[in-house]
Structure 1
Amino acid sequence: MTRPPEVVPGTREDSTALAVESFPTELIQPVHATRTAAPAETVESVIERAARQRPPLPSLTGARWWAAFAVFLLHALVFLPVYPFQKSEMFRNIHAWVPMQLGAAGVTFFFVLSGFIIYWSFRPGMAKSAFYRRRVLKIYPTHLLAAAAFIVVASVPLHRAIVWVPNLLLVHTYVPNWTTVGGLNVPSWSLAAEMLFYLSFPLVLPLIMKIPTHRLVLAAAVLLLGIAALHTSYFLFFDGPKGIANAFAPRLVPGTTSPYYELHASPAWFQQANIPVSLSYWLSYTFPLSRLPEFFLGVLAARMVLEGKWRNTNLTWPLLALTVAYAATWVVPVNYKMSVLMLAPMTAVVATMANRDLHGIGKVNSHPRMVWLGNISFAFYLIQFPVMVVITRHLIGGKEFGVVGWAGFSVLSLVVSTVLAAALYHWVDLPIMKNFARSKKKAVKVAA
């Protein structure tokens, strides 16, 4: 990120996304409380001000909640084993309209947004050690607490270190085996990719900065083509599903009585020595190196906005393009469902929302309540599965429910997850970032 001296992430509080990066505190205030652009401000002056000040982007913070909620909705369908509802024709119809790519779209948004915000807030000359310290402090404390909660509520056998140690270290998705990839708190798979993003950013940034402003759009187009070629190679040369059917669906057990554990949280699951995973699916979706280009697409988008190569403020066509791309995921193989088709319009949505904030025209997503929800979305993303495990074990298991029962348990999961996420954000994340994210030398200097 090329950023002015005024923006110093090492001296500001920030919040994290699903995975997932977020804004310094100055970048997450409601737009109506921090807007500095006058109505008569020209496009050129807005661009100049953005490059100099890196003003707030509250709409992007608020939008994170919708991405996290999309993931939650898919997980509520798949990870709440409500029988006989999940075996009914109604469930099949619902799941046809809420398939796996809904959650995948939310993750794609987070990955692109992560690159955008990391570039937006990074200070030139900032020590790599300081950058890495802040990233570790943003990710690991909340991740470890959610993982610990899952270990307790799912009765994970600690004697099988292969199940939980790689997950705690966030290296579990580098191995194509569900014993490790899905061995603990399933949503945390995306954090392994995020940690790779953070590790690579300071190293790759000098190369990114060598791209001339007038070549940014071309660079983004080449990157998109490279991503498409990569996933095409996975489809052609690796074992995996070749049809267009959705691959992410509930794993059902016999009978009409709800089980006490969803399969990925079952004690029997953790005892298995080897749980095969489709190689092409793993490469396309969870392998961190495959998702790395999405992060740098967000970095390029941030440069486009800051350097005046992306001036659109009308969300209509990016959202329309995203809708068309999302609809197209129904008719392509699984390697293309996850992100490939949605990447270009998703990047356009992120860049346009940022540009709207710069021009002071952010609306729904910049509302203070939406900004707050966006701030807690990272914790919400991680705690939802442990919450669903508890609700399944104590309220759903051993009983029978229809669609009304599933809806009630989904709402309960949503409420409990939101409350716990708020607690994690306010009592864990913010205090840690306030007290430990800044070097003591800088803190003394600022205080003086």
Structure 2
Amino acid sequence: MTTSRTGGPSAVSADGSRLPSLTGMRFIASLMVFVCHAAVYGIFNDKDLGAALVTYVSKLGFVGVGFFFILSGFVLTWSARDTDRPLTFWRRRLAKIFPNHLVTWAAGLLLMTWIGGYAATVSNTVPSFFLIQAWFPVEDVFFGTNGPSWSLAAELLFYLSFPWLVRWVRAIPAQRLWTWAGILFAGVVLVALASQLLPSDPEMPYYPISWYQYWFVYCLPLTRLLEFALGIVMARIVQTGRWIPLSLGGALLTLIPGYALTVWLPDAYGIVAPTVIPLALVVAAGAAADVKGTSSPFRGRTMVRLGELSFAFYMVHMLVMWYGPMGRVPGRTWDTLPALGMIALTFALTTAAAWLLYRFVEVPAVRRFSNTRKRPQPAPAAPDRSLTDVAG
């Protein structure tokens, strides 16, 4: 697997084609998560507006996280090589995520005890440090010192399973890949159905669903593995020439009915399932657009630069919300325009903090730890003409 200068998958296939549109899309996905959390923060004096934001805007976070999980499987498959070894692959992935995580975990611990006035306990610090918090249906454990890091627990499972998952998907005949995409989507629906067997109490504060159902459908790494596997399958569909004639614009339009279902479907059925197919289509269509050179609004220099900041942005945004100007006085509200100003200020501070984390932690750590030092190689032997003539 090739890596970019930042150490993450550079989205380069065996034929050398890069996928800058998918990098640009990453920032839009992280922005969706930011807007979701701002919508449910409760800073508007206008209660009707606040309720409308919770109903119609807060679900954007579901879409953003789902995009990242599908994208992860797609990009890792796109950039994979037959010569990849699991240990080398795992080292590169850990070098990408752990430095940012450790810095934001430490910052969260400091801010939680110093500004937030919360007591640091084993349950709200240790599991999140080792990125195993998402396996526990306990809120104090799950949110830890930096709530967004729960998704990294899912990513760890994805990385550990990828060498075997990609081998399995590569063994699927090309004509059956779309069938397997449908099977994986059916699995996502079955997860929502199975969640109905879990306790109905306690309820989530912002969604009409119990905490246990929410955790099982949205947070448990094992259930989110289905979307990661779908990303792998979609990459193989594009690589094997089985992609349908759907433009990136057409794929983006499928998100409209998908999001409408996210808003209107009851409890667990509206969290993940409605946008799984649209997001899979968007990721694949974005890759196909880059390979073919067709137009894409996400390929520009600014979008790609913002996309490179997306992981750092995601990791710091809740810390800035909780402990920055917007959350400095818990429970404080503003009129509509000042509240929007606070959200804009929080976004600016988050972007600045993300740039610092990216520039001084993520990039240096990846450069230092993602690649092994190359040993001197002996001079190549003269080619065997009997082989080169046959192989070309």
Question: What is the TM-score with the length of structure 1 in the denominator?
Answer: 0.78
* Aligned counterparts, 1:148-167, within 5 A: 148-155=106-113, 159-167=120-128
Q: Which residue of 1 aligns with 2:84?
A: 126
Q: Which residue of 1 aligns with 2:219?
A: 286
Amino acid at match of 1:23: P
- After TM superposition, where is structure 1 displaced by more than 6 Å over at least 4 residues in a row? none
Q: Which residue of 2 aligns with 1:138?
A: 96
Counterparts of 2:182 and 2:141 in 1: how far apart (Å)?
Answer: 35
Amino acid at match of 2:338: G
Q: CA deviation at 1:56?
A: 0.8
Counterparts of 2:65 and 2:39 in 1: how far apart (Å)?
Answer: 17
Counterparts of 1:230 and 1:57 in 2: how far apart (Å)?
Answer: 31
Q: Which residue of 2 aligns with 1:63?
A: 25
Amino acid at match of 1:354: A
Q: CA deviation at 1:334?
A: 2.2
Amino acid at match of 2:5: E
Q: CA deviation at 1:281?
A: 1.4
Q: CA deviation at 1:86?
A: 5.3
Q: CA deviation at 1:248?
A: 5.5
The number of aligned residues is 374
Please, what is the CA RMSD of the aligned residues? 2.5
Q: CA deviation at 1:404?
A: 1.9
CA contact (8 A) 2:45 2:334 kept: no
* Aligned counterparts, 1:258-407, within 5 A: 278-392=211-325, 395-397=328-330, 401-407=334-340
Counterparts of 2:292 and 2:29 in 1: how far apart (Å)?
Answer: 24
Residues 295-345 of structure 1 deviation map (CA, whole Å, 9 limit, x = unaligned): 010000000111100143512332222210110122222212221111011
Matched, 1:438 2:371: yes
Q: CA deviation at 1:203?
A: 2.5
Counterparts of 1:87 and 1:247 in 2: how far apart (Å)?
Answer: 22
Counterparts of 2:239 and 2:75 in 1: how far apart (Å)?
Answer: 12
Q: Percent identity?
A: 33
| 1:60–1:159 Cα change, 3 Å | closer
> What is the DSSP-based 3-state SS (H/G/I as helix, E as strand, rest coil) of the residue aligned with 2:83?
coil
CA contact (8 A) 1:302 1:351 kept: yes
Counterparts of 2:126 and 2:188 in 1: how far apart (Å)?
Answer: 31
CA contact (8 A) 2:70 2:228 kept: yes
Matched, 1:74 2:36: yes
Question: What is the TM-score with the length of structure 2 in the denominator?
Answer: 0.89
Choose between structure 1 and 2 for higher RCO, CA contacts under 8 A separated by at least 6 residues.
Answer: 1
Q: CA deviation at 1:356?
A: 0.3
Q: Which residue of 1 aligns with 2:184?
A: 223
* Aligned counterparts, 1:23-38, within 5 A: 23-24=9-10, 27=12
Q: Which residue of 1 aligns with 2:55?
A: 96
Consecutive unaligned residues of structure 1, counting only runs of 5 or more, are 1-7, 16-21, 28-49, 251-276
Q: Which residue of 1 aligns with 2:5?
A: 13
Q: Which residue of 1 aligns with 2:388?
A: none
Counterparts of 2:205 and 2:243 in 1: how far apart (Å)?
Answer: 36
Q: CA deviation at 1:93?
A: 2.4
Consecutive unaligned residues of structure 2, counting only runs of 5 or more, are 379-392
| 1:87–1:282 Cα change, 3 Å | farther
Q: Which residue of 2 aligns with 1:265?
A: none
Residues 129-149 of structure 1 deviation map (CA, whole Å, 9 limit, x = unaligned): 111111111111101111211
Match of 2:139 among 168, 175, 178: 178
CA contact (8 A) 2:45 2:333 kept: no
Matched, 1:114 2:50: no
Q: CA deviation at 1:238?
A: 1.6
Which piece of structure 1 moves more, 107-116 or 314-323? Answer: 314-323
Match of 1:414 among 324, 327, 347: 347
Q: Which residue of 2 aligns with 1:34?
A: none
Amino acid at match of 2:188: I
CA contact (8 A) 1:318 1:348 kept: yes
